[in-house]
């Protein structure tokens, strides 16, 4: 039973990693930029989740606002930070991205205080027995349901709509996509909106699980998501999802069975290093 419990906890954590990392891999696929500032949108989502829930009492509204605002903020990051640097070395964009991420942490600290915020009345706290002896909070169930719904919607968008096909064509060969009339600038906006909205949703869910948002809450997801997209094979969405879930589960088991040797984040990185030594091309390498 412990194993099942750990598996479930791992999948919950993996679902959160997946929501964050997908946006990162989408940006990498389209622009070849390591979008470190992505985690700032995760934090923004977390703050908005708490603030809007506390102000209105509606968690659903808070989730929608957080996703929408994070999405628009993601577009702003692209327009203000990345677009002016597009013709340059990707290292320049990376440095801009790191700078933006650090600045965002300070901005959250200045605006909302260093000690963070909590839900006045945390929603979705009821415990539900999902199997004999294993109960899970509604919040954890909501994380998994939300991740499945959002990622399925993304899958539908990218596989079953003309917009999605144009999006993937732009990732595959931007100039040729343009030569067939695809507006690559619109694709980039969509890409940042969708990826950032997913990160915003993840921020809301993490704020719910921890009942806390703080200026530095994006730091750990930021470097883990970077590692996950490498593990997934940079730019590969399916690989990223697999890597996110695998990392969540490994961490979950690792903290129990190796927790006396390494802490949770160290286990995560030991796993990443091990996998990359065995499969440097990522978990799901293309042929």
Spatial separation of the C-alpha atoms in residues 4 and 203, rounded to whole Å: 26
C-beta of 83 vs 115, nearer to other proteins: 83
CB of 94 to other proteins, least distance (A): 24
Count of residues touching other proteins (by CB under 8 A): 17
Distances (CA, A) of 157 to 108, 161, 196, 201, 258: 33, 6, 16, 18, 40
* Residue numbers 21-60 binding other proteins by CB under 8 A: none
Q: Using the minimum distance from each CB to other proteins, give the nearer residue, 1 or 179.
A: 179
Which residues 163-192 are close enough to bind other proteins by CB under 8 A?
165-166, 168-169, 171-173, 175-183
- Minimum CB separation of residue 124 from other proteins in Å reads 38
Half-sphere exposure of 83 (CA within 13 A, CB side): 13
Closest approach, Cβ 286 to other proteins, in A, equals 8
* CB distance 134 to 204 below 8 Å: no
- For other proteins, give the closer residue by CB, 132 or 175: 175
The residue (of 186 and 279) whose beta carbon lies closer to other proteins is 186
Q: Is 258 in the site for other proteins (CB under 8 A)?
A: no
Site for other proteins in 144-163 (CB under 8 A): 162
CA–CA separation, 124 and 128 (whole Å)? 11
Q: How far is CA 271 from the centre of its chain?
A: 19
Q: Nearest approach, Cβ of 38 to other proteins (angstroms)?
A: 23
Alpha-carbon distance 204 to 186, whole Å?
A: 27
Cα torsion for 226, 98, 19, 30, to the nearest 10°?
A: -80
User: What minimum distance in Å lies between the beta carbon of 21 and other proteins?
Assistant: 19
Q: How many residues does the chain have?
A: 287
Nearer to other proteins, 132 or 181 (CB): 181
**Residue 141 or 169: which CB sits closer to other proteins?**
169
Helices (H) and strands (E) in the chain, counts: 11, 2
Kindly state the smallest distance separating residue 40's Cβ from other proteins, in Å: 30
Name 235's Cβ contacts closer than 8 Å, sequence gap at least 6.
25, 28, 29, 171, 229
**Rounded CA separation 21/222 (Å):** 9
Residue 81 CB, nearest approach to other proteins (Å):
24
Residue with Cβ nearer other proteins (110 or 176): 176
| Binders of other proteins in range 217-256 (CB under 8 A) | none
Interface contacts to other proteins, rule CB under 8 A = 162, 165-166, 168-169, 171-173, 175-183
């Amino acid at each position: 039973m412990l194993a099942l419990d750990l598996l479930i906890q791992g999948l919950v954590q993996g679902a959160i990693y997946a929501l964050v990392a997908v946006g990162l891999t989408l940006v990498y696929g389209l622009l070849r930029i390591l979008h470190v500032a992505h985690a700032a949108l995760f934090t923004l989502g977390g703050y908005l989740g708490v603030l809007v829930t506390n102000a209105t009492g509606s968690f659903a509204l808070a989730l929608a606002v957080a996703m929408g605002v994070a999405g628009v903020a993601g577009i702003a990051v692209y327009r203000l930070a990345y677009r002016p640097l597009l013709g340059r070395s990707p290292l320049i964009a990376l440095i801009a991205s790191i700078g933006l991420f650090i600045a965002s942490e300070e901005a959250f600290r200045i605006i909302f205080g260093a000690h963070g915020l909590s839900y006045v009345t945390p929603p979705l706290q009821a415990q539900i027995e999902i199997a004999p002896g294993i109960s899970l909070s509604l919040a954890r169930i909501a994380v998994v349901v939300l991740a499945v719904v959002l990622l399925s919607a993304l899958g539908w968008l990218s596989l079953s709509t003309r917009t999605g096909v144009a999006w993937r064509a732009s990732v595959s060969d931007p100039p040729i996509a343009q030569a067939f009339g695809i507006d690559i600038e619109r694709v980039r906006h969509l890409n940042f909106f969708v990826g950032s909205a997913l990160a915003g949703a993840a921020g809301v869910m993490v704020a719910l699980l921890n009942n806390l948002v703080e200026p530095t809450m994006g730091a750990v997801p930021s470097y883990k998501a970077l590692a996950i997209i490498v593990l997934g094979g940079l730019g590969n969405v399916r690989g990223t999802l697999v890597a996110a879930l695998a990392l969540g589960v490994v961490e979950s088991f690792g903290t129990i069975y190796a927790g006396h040797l390494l802490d949770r984040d160290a286990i995560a990185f030991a796993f990443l290093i091990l996998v990359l030594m065995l499969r440097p091309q990522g978990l799901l390498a293309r042929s």
